[in-house]
Amino acid sequence: MMKSSLVFSSQPRSVAVGDFNNDHQMDIVVANSGTNTIGIFLSQDNGTFTNEQIYSTGLDSRPYSLVVNDFNNDTYLDIAVANYGTNNIGIFLGNHNGTFSNQKSISLNSSRPFFITIGDLNNDNQMDIVVANYGTNNVGILLGNGNGSFEEQITYSTGYDSHPYALVVGDFNKDNQLDIAVANYGTDNIGIFLGYGNGTFASQKTYTTTRNSNPSSIAVGDLNNDNHLDIIVANYGTGKIGIFFGYENGTFAVQTTFSISSNCRPHHITVGYFDKDNQLDVVVVDSENDQVHILLQYDNRTFATITTYDGISGSRPFFVAAADFDKDNQSDIVIANYDTNNALVFSKYFITPSTRQTNYIVGKDSHPSSVVTFDFNNDGRLDLMVNKVNDDSLLILTGNDNGTFEQAAKYSTGYKSAPKCLCIGDLNNDNRMDIISANYGSDSVGILLAQDNGTFSYVTTYFVGYGSKPWSVAVGDFNNDSRLDIVTANHGSGGVSILLGHDNGTFANVKIYFSGIIVQPISVAVGDVNNDDQLDIVATDFISGNVFVLLGHAGGVFSNATTYSVASLSGPNFIRLADLNDDNHLDLLVSTANDGSVVILLGYGNGTFKKMTIYSVGYASSFYCIAIADFNNDHRHDFAVTSIGNDEIIIFYGYGNGSFYHGRTYFTGFGSRPYAITTIKLENSNQTYIVVTLGGIGYVAILIEYFAAEFGNQQIYLTGSAPHPYSVTVGNFSDDSYADIVIANSGNDNIDVLFNSGNGTFEIQVAYFIGADSYPRYVTTGDINKDNYLDIVTVNSKNNSISIFMGHGNRTFDIPRIYSTGINSYPLAVAIGDFNDDNRWDFIVANSGTDSIGVLLGFRYTLFQNGNTYYSDTTRSPEAIVTSDFNNDKYLDIAVVSYVSNNIGICLGYGNGSFDVLMTYSTGQGS
């Protein structure tokens, strides 16, 4: 048994489980390809595992895959490893106590073994080995002798350039003989080898996984409960799960695929029972997106839900195995994380709804409050248009093929226009979508007509009334002349303004309705609420707490407003129209600010409405905008509402009869203040995406709903990491007259302190974490606070800081104190000295990122303040720094080294914490 290496990353590629010490607990073994070892984690009674025991697989062996079984019939589990780097199989025979003998290797010539599994292939009650040979494009069979040894490999071709990645065994044709299925990554197929029961096999029969699918993993199970084994494949290239349903004669149906996501890269797949319904489920790890997906089966051929675990960022999971570690009759999983050098154990699986939120900047202090979606540039992809209230403009974000967006053109809405709301419509009947903005600041609406090339004309504005301050805008053909007209809600002057449209996208003078009745309208909506083929208008009045219904008549005129009280002082905000109960009559949805509710008024179809129903989640909610969509794909109207007060989006699911229930709540970020909300469905997607403006931070966000996989118990077990030590120094940290060692580990974002035992060895290694992505590049020591105990100072390149660990002289240190070296400074070195003659230590920092020298002056011994920064165009990217009195004036000076500029720079000190300009001295070209 070896001690874990601290030189290279372990890079675990495969994991297997078994009871290695016969204590009826499931243990774990990991193949560490980076350190050429396998690691054993023995299970303990409390559901945790012991520290890793390490066994060597040989120099440059690069173990890729492993499997466990009793190969020598001594009732103790053994381990077989496919060593990709040394072209052999390693056998570790197990002892009764969970330890193993040293590896015995079996040569496979130049095969490059990629994956290994086992089975009794010749019915002699001895375990045999099957290996996928990536380098020689074949499957290798090694028949077991029952004493831990194996016969010479017999191979079966998988095809030219097939590059077999994985394989599995099972009885596919019900003849009681084991067969083999292999995933051929290179030729985009699976291969079936039917067994004869004597260790030999028929030639391969292939089934396509489709072009460029690159199947990387394969598993078997009876997914449709017909007592025939089916095959499940992870198609890395297409991001899909493929299922081949099996027949009794060993043949299979054509592949049925299930998509996880457009950018998924499934690397390994297995099966288990995760939701206790006796239906076999599937788990797959996505190595490119650092995700775990569990597909829950709800009948015998389909999956009800795809759940995803996102909490392993940067891990690059390569392999997953399923087992019931905690004996609760529910499958648990263990994952080999290649980049983070650990094995992750998850148990007690459950599901919770969640979203993935992507924010796109609109502009700092832009206060976006409205968003519309359309394919404005006719490229087949939806685009977004967002208002910038404080910038008097509109911004287009064009859609990309992968569902993301990027900033494109910006259009002015006029000087001090403060556009508050947007809508779209074809105003000049040219089959192009034009844009209308309600300009709160200039008492107008702005018209931007669409052009042939996907751009828009300069804004044309139309006056809608003195002091009107339009808050909302909508369009409709109010006079039935086949031309769109415009209505605004006049927050400043009250009432609504109507602009009747002409043929060419121009408009008649404004007509104002009910300015003395509707006092402070916030929102308007348009629809035929009385089924007379004339468009009507509905509006909210924030002051009175009422909703007003304005019935339309021929010629684009409107009758007296009918009032429906929402609630006194409720502050009704936005209003929407939709048929919520499928009776072909429009109903009203109204959000309120002051009592945080959505009010539903069901329509009779004659312009009147029933008694309201109120839906609320709390008075602090301050509901604002409403979007109506089918969020749960049950073909019924649901709605989502933004909560400015709680920074949330709240979804209510509909029963289809006009009643609703609170479904989900999603947080959009502290201080985000979500305002406008709408929904989109991207091409080739059945999923509803939520689009919301975040007025508090100046962004527009896309939220994609998904079911999150969660686990009640999560444990991480290190398989050996790469500290990447960059700097080392010595000092006495234990007050024992022995020199200890401190190492700056850039790869682990920490320092290691090794304490001297007094005999030339170092007995204890203590790690102190500095901070995520700190990347310490330099370490030094000094008695910073003058308490007669050495302290430690680190230079942290990636987070632009230095850290101070104050020592106590007893091998312990305080948590680090962090001091910034400036944005993008990327510091590489530090020197300590008293530069202003105040008997306190100061710091000089070499800032590679800003080509500068930074000064931090000490005061009160443990606190530091930024001094001057010294820049140089000639000494670029300084990497090392020292101090001394170079000119014998009794003041400390500075010298820095520049690898990039091939010179050294000198700053002479004045003794007051400031320095002269940098003087440079060449060290020679290429020095």
C-beta separation of 312 from 338 below 8 A: no
Q: Containing H/E element for 41?
A: strand 37-41
C-beta separation of 387 from 421 below 8 A: yes
Minimal CA–CA distance to 339: which of 683, 705, 719? 719
Q: What CATH number is associated with residue 755?
A: 2.130.10.130
Asked whether residue 858 is assigned to any structural domain, the reply reads: yes
How many independent structural domains does the chain possess? 2
Rounded to two decimals, the pTM is: 0.68
Geometric angle at alpha carbon 264, from 259 and 266, rounded to 5°: 90
Hey, what long-range contacts does 556-564 have (CB within 8 A, 24 or more apart)? Answer: 556/478, 556/479, 556/485, 556/498, 556/500, 558/498, 558/513, 561/513, 561/514, 561/517, 561/518, 562/607, 562/608, 564/588, 564/601, 564/609, 564/612
Cα separation, 155 vs 168, in Å, equals: 16
Residues in Cβ contact with 773 at an 8 Å cutoff, skipping those fewer than 6 apart: 749, 798, 799
- Return the pLDDT at 722: 57
Minimal CA–CA distance to 349: which of 397, 434, 281, 436? 281
Tokens of 872: 């140089």
C-beta separation of 893 from 887 below 8 A: yes
Asked whether residue 907 is assigned to any structural domain, the reply reads: yes
Asked whether residue 816 is assigned to any structural domain, the reply reads: yes
Q: Mean pLDDT of residues grouped by 10 in the chain (927 residues)?
A: 40 92 92 91 86 90 96 96 96 94 95 96 96 97 97 97 96 96 98 97 97 96 93 95 95 93 88 88 92 83 81 86 86 86 85 88 93 93 95 94 89 96 96 96 96 91 96 97 96 95 91 88 96 96 93 90 82 95 96 90 94 79 92 90 93 94 90 94 76 95 87 78 72 84 82 80 74 86 89 91 91 88 89 88 90 83 74 81 91 88 88 88 76
Cα separation, 675 vs 261, in Å, equals: 29
Tokens of 527: 């629809």
Geometric angle at alpha carbon 526, from 521 and 528, rounded to 5°: 130
Tokens of 415: 């000087």
Asked whether residue 547 is assigned to any structural domain, the reply reads: yes
Cα separation, 865 vs 486, in Å, equals: 60
Q: Containing H/E element for 269?
A: strand 266-272
Question: Last residue of a domain, which of 565, 596, 626?
Answer: 565
C-beta separation of 658 from 602 below 8 A: yes
Cα separation, 340 vs 133, in Å, equals: 27
Asked whether residue 176 is assigned to any structural domain, the reply reads: no
Cα separation, 578 vs 527, in Å, equals: 9
Cα separation, 687 vs 4, in Å, equals: 47
Residue carrying the six token digits 């009871």? 19
Q: What is the DSSP string of 555-620?
A: TTEE-PPEEEE--TT--EEEEEEE-SSSSSS-EEEEEESSS-EEEEE-B-SSS-B---EEEES-TT
Cα separation, 120 vs 142, in Å, equals: 11
- What amino acid is encoded at 261 in this protein? S
Asked whether residue 450 is assigned to any structural domain, the reply reads: yes
**Beta partners for 271?**
282
Minimal CA–CA distance to 115: which of 185, 47, 56? 185
Question: Last residue of a domain, which of 565, 599, 627?
Answer: 565
Minimal CA–CA distance to 479: which of 502, 510, 446, 449? 502
Asked whether residue 502 is assigned to any structural domain, the reply reads: yes
Cα separation, 776 vs 783, in Å, equals: 20
Residues in Cβ contact with 760 at an 8 Å cutoff, skipping those fewer than 6 apart: none
- Return the pLDDT at 919: 86
Which structural domain range is residue 491 located in?
A: 363-565
Interstrand relation of 266-272 and 434-439 (parallel, antiparallel or unpaired): unpaired
- Return the pLDDT at 4: 28
Burial of 895 (0-12, 13-18, 19+ CB in 10 A): middle
Tokens of 427: 């105003």
**Beta partners for 92?**
79
Question: Last residue of a domain, which of 565, 598, 633?
Answer: 565
**Beta partners for 189?**
184, 208
Cα separation, 508 vs 528, in Å, equals: 23
Cα separation, 260 vs 286, in Å, equals: 10
- Return the pLDDT at 902: 83
Cα separation, 168 vs 191, in Å, equals: 11
Cβ neighbours, 10 Å, residue 481: 14
- Return the pLDDT at 549: 95
Cβ neighbours, 10 Å, residue 254: 10
Residue carrying the six token digits 């609320």? 616
- Return the pLDDT at 1: 28
Task: Read off the DSSP letter of residue 789.
Answer: S
Residue carrying the six token digits 């779209």? 424
- Return the pLDDT at 8: 44
C-beta separation of 249 from 261 below 8 A: no
Q: What distance, in Å, lies between the first and last C-alpha atoms of the chain? A: 46
HSE-CB at 333 with a 13 A cutoff on CA atoms is 29
CA distances from 598 to 542, 654, 724, 910 (A): 14, 13, 57, 69
- Return the pLDDT at 344: 84
Q: What is the CA radius of gyration of the chain?
A: 35
C-beta separation of 756 from 806 below 8 A: no
Residues in Cβ contact with 693 at an 8 Å cutoff, skipping those fewer than 6 apart: 362, 368, 369, 370, 371, 386, 674, 675, 676, 677, 699, 700, 701
Asked whether residue 894 is assigned to any structural domain, the reply reads: yes
**Beta partners for 692?**
677, 701
Residues in Cβ contact with 252 at an 8 Å cutoff, skipping those fewer than 6 apart: 172, 192, 207, 230, 231, 244, 245, 246
C-beta separation of 144 from 131 below 8 A: no
